[in-house]
């Protein structure tokens, strides 16, 4: 496929390069393109950063916590005394043995979808562009409301 503003004679202009240009220009957000549609692998979100996962707070369940009979949202098993838990930045707690395999596949909390950083620079750039687009939309709405009411 040749686009008028990209020469088909330039073999170095690959789909990845074009996708990067879309993201850099903000056009992907403007066209509301999703990451999976731009980079292939529909719906394929990268796993959480290994460094971030390793730095998640870990603690053992105390007798007082075990008495509360709270459950792990992943396996639905009770948090028993001496179980190792990991706490996500959003505050949700999970058995380490449950959340670690999850974060090897997905970069978000299974309950609230709070996203952790990834090791994928393209996905991180996409998230920044999407956040900028959302911020621009908010600013335009605020400007409109301040002018018209």
Report the Cα–Cα distance between both ends of the chain, in Å, rounded: 46
What integer pLDDT is reported at residue 149 of this predicted model? 75
Could you tell me if residue 2 is inside a domain?
A: no
pLDDT tens per residue, range 83-113:
999 999 999 999 999 999 999 999 999 999 9
Quick check: pTM over 0.75? no
Q: How far apart are CA 15 and CA 90, in angstroms?
A: 36
Could you tell me if residue 68 is inside a domain?
A: yes
pLDDT tens per residue, range 8-41:
555 555 556 666 666 666 555 555 555 555 555 5
Task: Give the domain extent around 119.
Answer: 45-128
Domain count, the chain: 1
Could you tell me if residue 29 is inside a domain?
A: no
């Amino acid at each position: 496929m040749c686009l008028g503003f990209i020469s088909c004679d330039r073999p170095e202009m690959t789909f990845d390069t074009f996708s990067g240009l879309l993201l850099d220009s903000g056009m992907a957000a403007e066209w509301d393109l999703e990451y999976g549609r731009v980079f292939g692998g529909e719906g394929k979100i990268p796993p959480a950063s290994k460094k971030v996962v390793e730095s998640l707070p870990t603690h053992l369940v105390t007798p007082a916590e075990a008495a509360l009979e709270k459950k792990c949202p992943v396996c639905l098993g009770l948090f028993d005394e001496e179980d190792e838990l990991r706490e996500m930045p959003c505050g949700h707690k999970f058995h380490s043995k449950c959340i670690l395999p999850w974060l090897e596949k997905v970069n978000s909390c299974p309950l609230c979808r709070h996203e952790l950083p990834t090791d994928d620079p393209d996905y991180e750039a996409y998230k920044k562009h999407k956040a900028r687009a959302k911020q621009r939309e908010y600013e335009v709405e605020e400007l409109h409301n301040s002018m018209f009411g």
